[in-house]
A and B are shown apart, each in its own frame.
Chain A
Amino acid sequence: MAASNIEVWQTGTVVETEAVTAETRRLVLSQSQPKKAEPGSHIDVMVTINGERQRRSYSVVDSSEDGLRVAISVFRAPQSRGGSVFMQGLNVGDQLEITQPLQNFPLRVGAPRYVLLAGGIGITAMLNMARVLRNIKADYTLVYAGRSRAAMAYLPQLEALHGDALHVHVDDEGTALKVDALLAGVDADTELYMCGPIRLMDAVKRGWDARGLSVPNLRYETFGNSGWFDPEEFVVRVPRLGVETTVGSGESMLEALEGAGVDMMFDCRKGECGLCEVRLLGLEGAVDHRDVFYSERQQHAAAKMCCCVSRAVSSGTGARKDPAGGRAVVTIDV
């Protein structure tokens, strides 16, 4: 199963909707050009936010064998940029532009042991993988962490399907996930696939490195939409071009710069490739690095940032103490 980024756009028609938690809605889409979704794949969809078309990515949670239908699950984040509100508003019969399943997070068959780690809505990327690993009788553990049982999508189905292979950690039951304990059970041959909030993934990455585990055995996917802090509106300046613009909390710095007429270089739009990197000349506030391109050292140095996903916040603690005064200001060169 290979990475595949050849985009085939097609029409998706909503054929089923279901609330799987208070905040999460499952949507089943029929594909006008059917293609089966391999584990780890996602679709990109075009959403309309305030009259503007924007693109969002959703993991495929399951698909029919003939590829006619793919299911996704949409979580309405408290700080949604608008995409999840649009998606949750869809009804049976509605149509939207979607890609055929894309693959950037392939499951490798043949590892001696697997750990699948899902935090919150990150479970959507793990459902299909876990099902396949169970089918091929692989040695796997599915670790699912969430705030409360009620907020954890697909929990009853997972319990029924995976039995003892499912390890559930629930914050409000006092069984919160302890990354150190999890990694203590991981050996040199284990492949760990994870999807979840950036704080969880950062903790796992640090622990992984600290234990000297094999870097390529840690597999993860981010759609670049998870940060350490809630998104805020901030100001970006490009003195060389005489540009100053505001980055709204619902848009990326890259989008704002493009909107201001700056000819930007970029590619993946999810903080992986590093092509959208900008040099920081000045900073009032702090950078919320949301990319996986820079090392921890480079992120601390805060000399550059990936403007497709990373943002500025007014306070390095994330607490906006001064609602009146303080928008962060980033001065950059591109």
Chain B
Amino acid sequence: MTAMMQSVSSTTNKVLGYPLNAWYVAAWDHEVTRKPMSRRIADRPLALYRTEDGKAVALADACWHRLAPLSMGKTLGKDEIQCPYHGIVYNSAGRCVSMPAQETINPSATVPSFPVVERYRYVWVWLGDATQADPTLIPDMHQMSSEEWAGDGETIFAPCNYQLVLDNLMDLTHEEFVHSSSIGQDELSESDFKVTQDGNTVTVSRWMLDIDAPPFWLKNMRDKFPGFEGKVDRWQIITFQSPSTINIDVGVAKAGTGAPEGDRSQGVNGFVMNTISPESAKTCHYFWAFMRNYRLDSQLITTQLRKGVHGVFGEDEAMLKAQQEAIDANPDYEFYNLNIDAGGMWVRRLIERQLTAEGRLIPTV
């Protein structure tokens, strides 16, 4: 008898776990200041603050002594934070440097200090095995801090499992239905798309040729080409970087001017930068920005785009919230997959591989 090797399909776990050996965005750079703040990432409550030298610090948000939140305390000296309850002071390495009413310091008194890197306007934290915290593993989001790109973004607190946001971004067919007034159009669900997977990335590309530009894109074209009328070629190239960053290269160009072949000079190009940090099993912090590579000097366009995308993503937020509620209300029903889910299914498989490597994959029942 020949033993058959059974290949394992990606699961359709409705609540997917999150890898710990990964960089997650904890905050925008401007959010972290000398005044400590609290944020929970991957179910770890963090106290975030800056040292006098401006270095961002992430400590566990619970004093060693009685677990009072350090984020309610204050920063002291060069790099220290004081527990608001009994005054125990820790340095940025999480080491106690002062204890009340005794002349020595208990050598066990430490709180976890997590590796932090500030890059691309974000403060990234590593909550898993610190010996593996290699900064080169931070996803590429260079458009966020490049002189060749301008833009801004916001944070959505999404009341859903982070995977639902990844599903949302890996398949933009939903734009036709959720965002019909701004970026949706019939061609989205009618056009073909291509999915490729390589290492820790998944790419979904879709081109829609010789179409009418939807309102959002017509406005952008007219910002660059005043008075523009006519058909466009539109693209969406979605790139996922494990475990939870998705950059989407989007744009339109005057139809037939060579954009699919690489000449985008007759068009407008943006990058939708998305990175999602799980907060808990059913909540996440969704950091996004819209970056563009034209009219870099126009703060007006930056603000208009941020507000425009804010409106679009508000529609996603409402859908994601409703979806999570429906999932919770229907525990006996399963997910089914469509052809359009290929990108999202690759994402699930990559995340599940990482969870398996960490010994943290919870098998589907």
State the CA gap A294–B97 with chains docked (Å): 16
Q: Does A104 contact B (CB under 8 A)?
A: yes
Whether B91 pairs with A216 at a CB distance below 8 angstroms is yes
Q: Does A196 contact B (CB under 8 A)?
A: no
Nearest A residue to B102 by beta-carbon distance?
A274
Partner of A273, one of B103, B106, B112, B130: B106
Which residues 87-120 of B have a CB within 8 angstroms of A? 91, 93-97, 102-108, 110-113, 115
Q: Does A272 contact B (CB under 8 A)?
A: yes
23 cross-chain CB contacts under 8 A = A1-B130, A3-B64, A104-B108, A105-B108, A106-B110, A108-B93, A108-B130, A109-B131, A110-B93, A110-B113, A110-B115, A111-B93, A136-B131, A215-B105, A216-B91, A216-B93, A216-B96, A219-B107, A220-B107, A222-B107, A272-B108, A274-B102, A274-B106
CB distance from B98 to the nearest CB of A (A): 9
**Residues from chain A with Cβ under 8 Å of B102 in the complex:** 274, 293
CB distance from B281 to the nearest CB of A (A): 21
State the CA gap A274–B99 with chains docked (Å): 12
**Residues from chain A with Cβ under 8 Å of B25 in the complex:** none
Partner of A2, one of B95, B105, B110, B133: B110
Q: Does A50 contact B (CB under 8 A)?
A: no
Q: Does A321 contact B (CB under 8 A)?
A: no
State the CA gap A67–B359 with chains docked (Å): 11
Given A3-B64, A3-B108, verify A215-B103 contact (CB < 8 Å): no
CB distance from A172 to the nearest CB of B (A): 31
Q: Does B60 contact A (CB under 8 A)?
A: yes
Whether B130 pairs with A293 at a CB distance below 8 angstroms is no
**Residues from chain B with Cβ under 8 Å of A222 in the complex:** 107
Whether B112 pairs with A1 at a CB distance below 8 angstroms is yes
**Residues from chain B with Cβ under 8 Å of A274 in the complex:** 102, 106
Whether B106 pairs with A272 at a CB distance below 8 angstroms is yes
Q: Does A132 contact B (CB under 8 A)?
A: yes
**Residues from chain A with Cβ under 8 Å of B113 in the complex:** 108, 110
Given A215-B97, A216-B97, A274-B102, verify A292-B112 contact (CB < 8 Å): no
Whether B95 pairs with A216 at a CB distance below 8 angstroms is yes
**Residues from chain B with Cβ under 8 Å of A66 in the complex:** 359
State the CA gap A294–B106 with chains docked (Å): 10
A1, A66, A219 pick with most chain B CB within 10 angstroms: A1
Partner of A295, one of B103, B112, B131, B359: B103
State the CA gap A217–B340 with chains docked (Å): 55
Whether A221 pairs with B107 at a CB distance below 8 angstroms is yes
Q: Does A53 contact B (CB under 8 A)?
A: no
Nearest B residue to A4 by beta-carbon distance?
B112
**Residues from chain A with Cβ under 8 Å of B91 in the complex:** 216
CB distance from A198 to the nearest CB of B (A): 13
**Residues from chain B with Cβ under 8 Å of A220 in the complex:** 107
State the CA gap A330–B94 with chains docked (Å): 39
Whether B103 pairs with A294 at a CB distance below 8 angstroms is yes
**Residues from chain B with Cβ under 8 Å of A135 in the complex:** 131
Which residues 329-365 of B have a CB within 8 angstroms of A? 359
CB distance from B327 to the nearest CB of A (A): 32
State the CA gap A185–B179 with chains docked (Å): 65
State the CA gap A1–B20 with chains docked (Å): 13
Given A3-B110, A132-B131, A216-B95, verify A109-B104 contact (CB < 8 Å): no
Q: Does A297 contact B (CB under 8 A)?
A: yes
Whether A110 pairs with B130 at a CB distance below 8 angstroms is yes
Given A1-B130, A109-B130, A216-B96, verify A294-B115 contact (CB < 8 Å): no
CB distance from A140 to the nearest CB of B (A): 13
State the CA gap A222–B108 with chains docked (Å): 10
Contact with B along A167-188 (1 / 0, CB 8 A): 0000000000000000000000
Given A3-B64, A220-B107, A274-B102, verify A109-B115 contact (CB < 8 Å): yes
